Chains A and B, each alone.
Chain A
Amino acid sequence: EAGVAQSPRYKIIEKRQSVAFWCNPISGHATLYWYQQILGQGPKLLIQFQNNGVVDDSQLPKDRFSAERLKGVDSTLKIQPAKLEDSAVYLCASSLWTGNTEAFFGQGTRLTVV
């Protein structure tokens, strides 16, 4: 079974620029998550989708971050404009459904804002 796919793997941008990340979850997984992992910390949930609806975006900085999941499959996470403190690894994960199920993570996108 194919895992969670993310692209790009690495991205370097200047502050105030825009950036977008893409995620393709495991086939058949209804729930998709975006996490932010700052160096030396554990991942922090940014947003959770159930199919194409948002379940939780309470920790998403909505003034600069946005995410969508069209057709309940692929998802994109955008940052506009980026700040230095956005430098982190952005991890996408998916699970069968929202409940007591195992989450599977992608390789992540390492973002460096200079």
Chain B
Amino acid sequence: KQEVTQIPAALSVPEGENLVLNCSFTDSAIYNLQWFRQDPGKGLTSLLLIQSSQREQTSGRLNASLDKSSGRSTLYIAASQPGDSATYLCAVETGGGNKLTFGTGTQLKVEL
């Protein structure tokens, strides 16, 4: 059974700092990995999707890497802003069918 862990559970940083969020998964036989953002009381917004054959994806200030063999992914946020404050979730698709297993998220707060 796939299990996804995210560290840290919560993170508070000053504005402008670069930061890294970590995600690990127990079953390396994944199809893809997705990073989502969730604002309080809102749904999930997809940030980046990394296919199993890819090593990284970039979108603006976000860069996600994937090391499938070691069961790890990182989300790098450059020059953080208060608007980046949210919960970040990673999810993996295992076994096909596009069913996602989620981690519990990292709650990020970027302070002025």
Contacts and interface: CB of A to CB of B under 8 A. Distances in A.
B59 interface: no
Given A100-B51, A103-B34, A43 B97 contact: no
A106 interface: yes
B76 to A, nearest CB: 20
A44 B102 contact: yes
Given A48-B97, A98-B98, A108 B42 contact: yes
Contacts of A56: 97, 99
Interface in B4-30: 4
B37 to A, nearest CB: 11
Contacts of A41: 104
Contacts of A4: 43
A87 interface: no
B77 interface: no
Category for how many chain A residues contact B: 20 to 34
A9 to B, nearest CB: 9
B42 A95 contact: no
A37 to B, nearest CB: 8
B44 interface: yes
Classify chain B's interface size: 20 to 34
B32 to A, nearest CB: 6
A33 B99 CA distance: 9
A26 interface: no
B60 interface: no
A42 B45 CA distance: 14
A85 B69 CA distance: 37
Contacts of B43: 4, 6, 91, 105-108
Interface of B: 4, 31-32, 34, 36, 41-46, 49, 51, 89, 91, 93, 96-100, 102-105
12 contacts: A40-B104, A41-B104, A44-B102, A91-B43, A91-B44, A98-B98, A99-B96, A100-B31, A103-B100, A105-B43, A105-B44, A108-B42
Top 8 nearest A-B pairs (CB, nearest first) are: A42-B102, A105-B44, A107-B43, A105-B43, A108-B43, A102-B49, A42-B104, A43-B102
